Amino acid sequence: MRKTKKNIKQFPDTELIIQYKKSKNNKYIGILFERYGHLVYGVCLKYLKNIQESQDATSLIFEKVMVDLLRMDVKNFKSWLYMVSKNHCLMQLRKKKPAETENIAELEYKLEDNHNSEHVFIKESQLKNLEEAIKKLKDEQQQCIDLFYLKEKTYDEVADLTGYEKKTVKSYIQNGKRNLKIILTENHT
């Protein structure tokens, strides 16, 4: 049974939605929540600017998702979920007294002015996927990739910190990048 759960967690979003519609089993929504709950929370926090309200909104959004997915044909779950999250937050803001909130149009403009929120939502998801992919690399590649790209060390500094020769560091980084690309491509399909 444990093997089945692991395989289910690897299903693409569309397959999880199909299985949820067939079985109405909430475990499929649970997997989607694991994947995107933190992103929904981030959108809520940007709009609502309150931790407790954002946590509550995240729960309510996934309750709505459970109902809506049964009656809707969703092709791009991540983008659809972003719009559901954004609309939920805007509705919450409209319910508040006008004195408590800024003009909704101004708020929406501010949030989307410098950074398109949907773009940020997708980028956050990509970063999460990248973090997960890095964890799947061999320890040496993981260590060198982390030091070189994330901690912005030079080849020489990575060699000094790890004790590997400089050409070995370059090899680990090059092979790590190639393996990351493979892992991310497999996860995307």
* Chain segment 6-26, per-residue pLDDT in tens: 578 888 999 999 999 999 999
Residues 30-62: tens digit of each pLDDT: 999 999 999 999 999 988 889 999 999 999 999
- CATH class, domain 136-189, is mainly alpha
Enter the pTM of the model. Answer: 0.52
Confirm if 15 and 69 have CB atoms less than 8 A apart.
Answer: no
CA–CA separation, 173 vs 148, rounded Å? 8
DSSP 138: -
Domain boundaries in the chain? Answer: 2-114, 136-189
pLDDT higher than threshold 50 for residue 114: no
Q: Which candidate, 109, 126, 110, places its Cα nearest to that of 187? A: 126
35-39, 96-100, 109-113, 137-141: the lowest-pLDDT one = 109-113
Side-chain half-sphere CA neighbours of 170 within 13 A = 5
Per-position DSSP letters for 89-122, written without gaps between them: HHHHHHHS-GGGS--HHHHHHHHHHSS-HHHHHH
Residue 137, burial from CB neighbour count under 10 angstroms (0-12, 13-18, 19+): buried
Q: What is the CA radius of gyration of the chain?
A: 21
- Fold annotation for 2-114: Rna Polymerase Sigma Factor; Chain: A (1.10.1740)
Q: What's the Cα-to-Cα distance from 34 to each of 18, 39, 41, 76, 189, rounded to whole Å?
A: 17, 10, 12, 17, 19
